[in-house]
Amino acid sequence: MKLRENCYEQKKRNSYSSYGVAIRNQIKEATGKTWAYGALFVMLGRLEKKDCLTSYFADPSPQRGGKSKRIFQLSPLGVKALKDVRKAQESVWAGISDPFTAKE
């Protein structure tokens, strides 16, 4: 699965709202791979430029030394994009016989 699709899927699973570290942790849990923060934030920025995500800064917290978390939210266009990706994937898989049940 491509990084963009994985980000969409992770955002969808996370009630449409999360911050970068949590998104990265969810992607690691789902894929078993650790992705660089730079790669993640570049992708989130691109999705935001395409209006698939919005973001805002939460109130600063003492645990983060007064730094704000940047919260990303899936937009209505992002929800539509997720549905389109799922539909495309299902269409592709519908045309392929199941390799686990196929007889040799």
Domain count, the chain: 1
Residue 19 maps to a domain? yes
Residue 51 maps to a domain? yes
Residue 96 maps to a domain? no
The residue segments making up the domain with residue 24 are: 3-90
Q: What's the pTM?
A: 0.70
Residue 55 maps to a domain? yes
Residue 100 has phi, psi (to 5 degrees) of -85, -20
Q: Which two tokens stand for residue 44?
A: 């989130």
Task: Report how far residue 104's alpha carbon sits from residue 87's, in angstroms, rounded to the nearest whole number.
Answer: 30
Q: What is the CATH number of the domain that holds 55?
A: 1.10.10.10
Residue 101 maps to a domain? no
Question: pLDDT 10s per residue in the chain (104 long)?
Answer: 555 565 555 555 555 678 888 899 988 998 999 999 999 999 999 999 999 999 999 888 777 677 888 999 999 999 999 999 999 989 988 878 777 775 65
Which pLDDT does position 4 carry in this prediction?
59
Which pLDDT does position 96 carry in this prediction?
84
Which pLDDT does position 37 carry in this prediction?
92
Residue 104 maps to a domain? no
Nearest CA to 77 among 48, 57, 41, 43?
A: 48
Residue 28 maps to a domain? yes
